[in-house]
Amino acid sequence: MPEIVWDSKLYDKQHHFVSDYGADVLQWLAPRPGEDILDVGCGTGQLAAQMAEIGAEVFGIDASTDMIATAKASHPNIGFEVVDATKLPYKNLFDAIFSNATFHWIEDQPALIEGLYNALKPKGRLVAEFGGKGNVKSITDAISVAAKNLGLSAKLINDFWYFPSISTYTTLLEDRGFEVEQAWLFDRPTKLTGEDGMLKWINQFATHAFKNLTSDEAEAIKSLAIEILKPKFFNKGEWTADYRRLRIKAWKR
Ligand code: BEZ
């Protein structure tokens, strides 16, 4: 799975759509005052802060020290900690677990799901949204085609992210004992900021794909991929990415 370096300031400036869209996921969670809520992959803490405003007792975790440092500085009244989501140390502590745009980065899904289940109190709920089957397929296809046309396929890392189907993911959850109430796979075309939005997106989210290439080779692939994408995804000075989300709500019974 990808290694990625998060720059929290750049993330909030250039890629703030991640938490902007996350506000919609919060509606499935419907946090209540006094509830203990774990935010897995909290980033800079913007959604944790929205839950805290409602009166929930939120605790945010993220694998990135930079994200957690920014979250702590921005929201000093909320607890945040650097924790690996595949090694959650909590037992029967939370009424609910929330996660936005995180699970697709995680390779060891059984370890993640085990930790989520254990962290919830009985009758606790999990609400998570992440990339679903087919997410950003036009972008990954364009990168692969560009690498092929340049004779660089062998050096490109094609194993991009974990984007499961509804049946794959609900089966994983049910196998661990969750009862899945809702699962929704839907297209969510996502506007990227600026004329160089696609290049910035690739540089933020897909750097791992290029790690075996020289910088000249990587730049050549990115330029060609952007040319391939432009006719369909660049319109009136704005880029759109073909995001497809998987949103789930499940219970620990
Ligand atoms: C996503 O949120 O869907 C996503 C983010 C980065 C890379 C791939 C997908």
Atom of ligand 1 lying closest to residue 206 CA: 7
Give the per-residue pLDDT at 8.
76
Residue 101 CA to ligand 1 center (angstroms) comes to 7
Give the per-residue pLDDT at 51.
97
Low-confidence ranges of the chain (pLDDT < 50): none
Atom 2 of ligand 1, nearest CA residue: 101
Beta strands across the sheet bearing 190-192 = 190-192, 238-241, 234-235
Find out whether 104 and 161 touch, Cβ atoms under 8 Å: yes
Residue 41 CA to ligand 1 center (angstroms) comes to 13
- DSSP H helical segments within the chain, as ranges? 8-14, 17-29, 46-54, 65-74, 109-119, 137-149, 166-176, 197-205, 215-233
Give the per-residue pLDDT at 13.
66
Q: Which residues line ligand 1 (CB under 6 A)?
A: 101, 104, 131, 135-136, 161, 205, 243
Please state, in angstroms and rounded to a whole number, the distance separating the CA atoms of residues 240 and 253. Answer: 40
Residue 253 CA to ligand 1 center (angstroms) comes to 30
Domains of the chain: 8-136+161-193+240-252 (3.40.50.150)
Residue pointed to by tokens 């939120």: 58
Q: What is the pTM of this model?
A: 0.92
Give the per-residue pLDDT at 15.
64
Those residues whose C-beta lies under 8 Å from the C-beta of residue 116, and which sit 6 or more positions away, are 40, 88, 97, 126
3-class SS string, 172-220: HHHHHCEEEEEEEEEECCEEECCCCHHHHHHHHHCHHHHCCCCHHHHHH
* Phi, then psi, of 179 in degrees rounded to 5: -105, 120
Atom of ligand 1 lying closest to residue 245 CA: 3
pLDDT tens, position by position, 20-52: 788 889 999 999 999 999 999 999 999 999 999
Atom of ligand 1 lying closest to residue 161 CA: 8
Give the per-residue pLDDT at 148.
98
Atom of ligand 1 lying closest to residue 244 CA: 3
Q: Hey, which of 205, 208, 244 would you mutate to test ligand 1's pocket, going by the most ligand atoms within 8 Å of its Cβ?
A: 205
